[in-house]
Amino acid sequence: MIQRSILLAALLCFVGISTQAGIPTDKVKETTDKVLTILNNPTLQGDAKKNERYRQIRIVLDERFDWQESARGCLGHHWAQRTADEKKEFVALFAEFLERSYLDKFGIYYVNIETIDYRNEKILDSYASVQTVINTKAKFHHPVEYRLEKSMDNNWRIYDTVIEGVSMIKNYRDQFDEIINRSSYAGLIKEIQSRVSEKE
Amino acid sequence: MKRYLLLSISLWIGLQSALMAGVKTIQPSRESTGTSDSSGFHDPFDTEEGSSKPTGKELDSLEPMNRFFFKVNDRLYFWLLKPVSKGLATVVPKPCREALDRAFLNAKFPIRFVNNLLQGKLKGAGYETGRLVVNTTVGFGGLFDPAARLKLNRHPADFDQTLAKYKIPTGSYLCWPVIGPSSVRGTVGEIGDTLLTPWTYLGFYHAISYGLPPTQKINTTSLHLGEYEDLKKSTFDPYIAVRSAYFDSRRKAAEN
């Protein structure tokens, strides 16, 4: 059950119905709808079209997700101890991993989704939280919250997804904290590198 | 028979030591996680951030044992649960397995009803009663879910959540063999839920009381194949990922 929610935790998003108010909500919905259109495109079905499907979804996600900000949050308080070069390396490496694991989850989960309700929106200065509920075909209702930040160019971008109370950033932060404390920062980087290369 | 006896003994010993360990360790963490200031990463919606609430590590005094059982469960999944569930999935069509899943959930109505009431959620208890009546009759014993079409939505509730509402602390984290992630409070919750499961009362020697729980587990797993594999693929320390998610999702459940 819990394993299921954490799985849900990296992914779920993407199907839409009914919306109200607010630019952040509109942005989330827009991205969601676009991804869904790609996933439902009859000419992009099957394993043979996987790369093309991924390529198109990636373009849509890159517009809306701030992978670098997410990666930064995942390192937590260890961030401050890294040099500028290490920070750059980490963000580039982990942002890549995050995006890929996001993409991987579509294949598994989006088929279970029936509709998405956009429930509520909170804005605090340049931050926003968009509360949605994913209604599955099995008639379960999973709360999914998107956290966004307004960037310099006035664009709202998602930095965290919280599913059933499980924040993607916090979950990785807890893992990284453990790995760094047990081995070292270098050990963590090695681990991420090996995972990124095996996903190629 | 012997297996169950052994299992219950080990559960009991584990529970004892966990309770004792839990008493020792339920203390707020002194060290602030404070990522919001030291990393330059700021999240105004992260209410737990930098708070003194235990984040999981502090509540895992039995980590070596828990990690051991996590590994045992991992092996059990790949060696036993997955092959059996896959076998079921090839023999029984998905709609049938989904119907069976619904019927199991329908039969566990008393858990949701009683806990909705204990939490003062009259509306939840009412909706669940409506669902039971409609789905058990028109829905052929819960195999189908016509109640959903009548907008009678699910209102899940469990005993761990009830205990959380009554401000009982979670206590030590526990990863049980077969059952999986839990806590001292979660274990008590599980026992409470078991007492509200109808087939518990079929009698100690009745085959169905032993046959139904594994059947449900296998059937449910057959509908979620690939998810655990993906969890392992997208995490770097699956044990920590699951533990962290366990506490966070339980905290969220207690807010609802």
DSSP three-state, residue B39:
coil
Q: Nearest 5 degrees, angle CA A50-CA A59-CA A34? A: 85
Structure tokens at B200: 């518990």
Assess whether pLDDT exceeds 50 at residue B15: no
Q: How far does the CA of residue A42 sit from the closest CA of chain B (Å)? A: 23
CB contact under 8 A, A140 and B228: no
Q: What is the percentage of chain A residues whose pLDDT exceeds 70? A: 88
Q: CB-based contacts of A108: which residues, under 8 Å, 6+ apart?
A: A7, A11, B226, B227, B230
Q: Residues A120, A24: contact at Cβ < 8 Å? A: no
Q: CB-based contacts of A75: which residues, under 8 Å, 6+ apart?
A: A82, A90, A94, A173, A176, B39
CB contact under 8 A, B248 and A7: no
Model confidence at A96, pLDDT cuts 50, 70, 90, reads confident
Q: Where are the alpha helices (DSSP H) in chain B?
A: 2-25, 35-38, 63-76, 82-91, 94-107, 109-118, 122-137, 146-149, 159-165, 184-195, 207-222, 227-234, 238-255
- Closest Cβ–Cβ partner in B154, B181, B237 for A141: B154
Q: CB-based contacts of B89: which residues, under 8 Å, 6+ apart?
A: B97, B222, B225
- Closest Cβ–Cβ partner in A104, A165, A179 for B248: A165
Domain boundaries of chain B, sorted by first residue: 55-255
**Tens digit of each residue's pLDDT (9 = 90 or more) over B199-211:** 988 877 788 888 9
**Tens digit of each residue's pLDDT (9 = 90 or more) over A49-86:** 888 998 999 999 999 999 888 989 999 899 999 999 99
Q: Nearest 5 degrees, angle CA B39-CA B45-CA B51? A: 65
Residues of B in contact with A156 (CB under 8 A): none
What are B180's strand-pairing partners? B176
Q: How far does the CA of residue B27 sit from the closest CA of chain A (Å)? A: 18
User: How far is B113 from B252, CA to CA, in rounded Å?
Assistant: 20
**Tens digit of each residue's pLDDT (9 = 90 or more) over B84-102:** 999 999 999 999 999 999 9
CB contact under 8 A, A170 and B231: no
Confidence (pLDDT) at B5:
39
Assess whether pLDDT exceeds 90 at residue B52: no
**Tens digit of each residue's pLDDT (9 = 90 or more) over B245-256:** 999 999 999 998
CB contact under 8 A, B154 and A6: no
User: How far is A83 from A180, CA to CA, in rounded Å?
Assistant: 16
CB contact under 8 A, B38 and A77: yes
- Closest Cβ–Cβ partner in B40, B43, B236 for A179: B236
Q: Is B232 on the interface with A (CB under 8 A)?
A: no
Dihedral over Cα of B95, B100, B106, B111: its sign: negative
Model confidence at B222, pLDDT cuts 50, 70, 90, reads very high
Dihedral over Cα of B90, A14, B251, B200: its sign: negative
Q: Is B34 on the interface with A (CB under 8 A)?
A: yes
Name which of B129, B112, B143 is nearest B256 in CA terms: B112
Q: What is the pTM of this model?
A: 0.84
Assess whether pLDDT exceeds 50 at residue B134: yes
Q: Is B48 on the interface with A (CB under 8 A)?
A: yes
First to last CA, chain A: 30
Q: Nearest 5 degrees, angle CA A4-CA B54-CA A12? A: 25
Confidence (pLDDT) at B66:
97
Q: How far does the CA of residue A198 sit from the closest CA of chain B (Å)? A: 10
Assess whether pLDDT exceeds 70 at residue B158: yes
Name which of A171, A41, A140, A10 is nearest B223 in CA terms: A140
Assess whether pLDDT exceeds 60 at residue A4: no
DSSP three-state, residue A37:
helix
Q: How far does the CA of residue A6 sit from the closest CA of chain B (Å)? A: 6
Q: How far does the CA of residue A185 sit from the closest CA of chain B (Å)? A: 13
**Tens digit of each residue's pLDDT (9 = 90 or more) over B55-73:** 678 899 999 999 999 999 9
Confidence (pLDDT) at B57:
83
Structure tokens at A67: 């992978």
Q: Is B181 on the interface with A (CB under 8 A)?
A: yes
Confidence (pLDDT) at A8:
52
Of A14-18, A89-93, B170-174, the one with minimum mean pLDDT is A14-18
Q: What is the percentage of chain B residues whose pLDDT exceeds 90? A: 72
